[in-house]
Copies of this chain bind each other. A is one copy, B any other.
Amino acid sequence: MEATELDREKTAPKRLGVVDCDIHPSFENPQELGKYLPQRWRDHLRDFALRTPSPFLGAMIYPRMTPGNGMRRDSWPPNGKPPASDLPFLREQLLDQCNIDHGVLQPLAAGAVTNNQDLGAALCVGINDWQIDKFAGPEPRLRASICVAQEDATEAVAEIDRRAHDRRFVQISIPPRTIEPIGRRRYWPIFEAAEHYGLPIGLHTGAFGQRPNTPSGWSSFYLEEHYAASNSLQTVIVSMIMEGVFERFPRLKIVVVEGGFSWVPSLAWRMDREWKRMGSEVPQVKRKPSEYLRDHFWFTTQPIEEPEENRHLDDLLRWIGADRLMFSTDYPHWDFDDPRFAFRTPLDPADRAKIFRENAMALFRLDQ
């Protein structure tokens, strides 16, 4: 079955390329990051290492049982270095083979979850330099994310100011599990800068945060942590809407990355219902909460929750809007979605073009 599809693919006329909104570049080794840090922080890392609330660099974040220890089994480059650390191999295996015209790099930013906030800011600067130097500079199909350490908004804005005029950066990346609810004013300078420069904010779901991942503390299992609940992203959306972020920043655009999307309609219904009765608590919320959700949020596709009936996926697409979903592979992670096989439900060709290409082209201004 897969072979037949692949054969058909090979002989089909060349189609317009896909945009992949979620590619995770990797360091070749821990020393590689060091090259992009000032001596002061290289010394610090040598003497004190990285202190984060949860395991990060150098620790297991994926279960060993996942194919390839969290990575696609076939994603190790011939030089034996980590998956997605070698540009020529990434170019061949992902961009060429999957017909990807543009790919957005999403470094899983250690800087954003480092306890030492000055070190966090320095890590983000280094990671941003490295993305250009190693990937987005030599390969124009790849675009970078401005990683910032969101808890110190002043430093974060300084880094955004430094990068925003470089069109190889197409979004600002912060983690959704912030120390305080993300709609609070301490984060508004970042939103202001994002709006000012017309850069979307990418919120990539993550296992990491300064606080436990559920209102009953840390969950026991990877299944709970990574996949089974997309709770933190729901609270993120509610917080941004209820704090009035989109009234203050009406052109702000948010991309929810790797959080799924099947929970979006029910969240909207729930918010609308009570806002009708209790809106006076949040005078900063001038419109139905679902309107902000529809106007300001985009969702990447991987991982697609799979309803038992295709009809339910159709309903979801209709509610969320084919103009609000954007294809992503999550390369090189084990649960990679191949653009040739993603979406079990048949898509209308116009919707397919939007989801696999056009929405991201427009949102990230990739034709510039």
Contacts and interface: CB of A to CB of B under 8 A. Distances in A.
Contacts of A230: 270
Contact of A212 (B176, B211, B226, B228): B211
Contact of A65 (B220, B260, B281): B281
A97 interface: no
B222 A278 contact: yes
A329 interface: no
Given A215-B213, A278-B65, A281-B63, A228 B270 contact: yes
A272 B28 CA distance: 34
B335 A277 contact: yes
A35 interface: no
A214 interface: yes
Interface in A240-270: 242-243, 260, 262-263, 265-267, 269-270
A103 interface: no
A99 interface: no
A88 interface: no
Contacts of A306: 269, 272-273
Nearest to A274: B227
A231 B228 contact: no
A274 B215 contact: no
B63 A278 contact: yes
A176 B231 CA distance: 15
A181 B271 CA distance: 26
Contacts of A184: 220
A229 B221 contact: no
Contacts of A220: 181, 183-184, 239, 242-243
Contact of A271 (B228, B231, B280, B304): B228
A14 to B, nearest CB: 32
Nearest to A213: B215
Contact of A215 (B214, B227, B308): B214
A232 B211 contact: no
A107 interface: no
Contacts of A229: 231, 234-235, 238, 267, 270
A133 interface: no
A139 interface: no
A236 interface: yes
A179 interface: yes
B236 A216 contact: yes
A217 B211 contact: yes
Nearest to A289: B228
Contacts of A115: none
Interface in A270-300: 270-275, 277-278, 280-282, 289
Best-surrounded residue of A211, A217, A229 (most CB of chain B within 10 A): A229
Given A65-B280, A228-B289, A307 B265 contact: yes
Given A219-B242, A227-B273, A273-B305, 4 more contacts: A66-B277, A215-B235, A223-B275, A229-B234
Interface of A: 63, 65-66, 176-184, 209, 211-224, 226-232, 234-236, 238-239, 242-243, 260, 262-263, 265-267, 269-275, 277-278, 280-282, 289, 303-308, 312, 315, 319, 335
Instruction: List the 9 closest pairs (A to B, CB-CB), nearest first.
Output: A262-B266, A269-B305, A227-B274, A214-B235, A231-B231, A215-B232, A263-B266, A228-B238, A270-B305
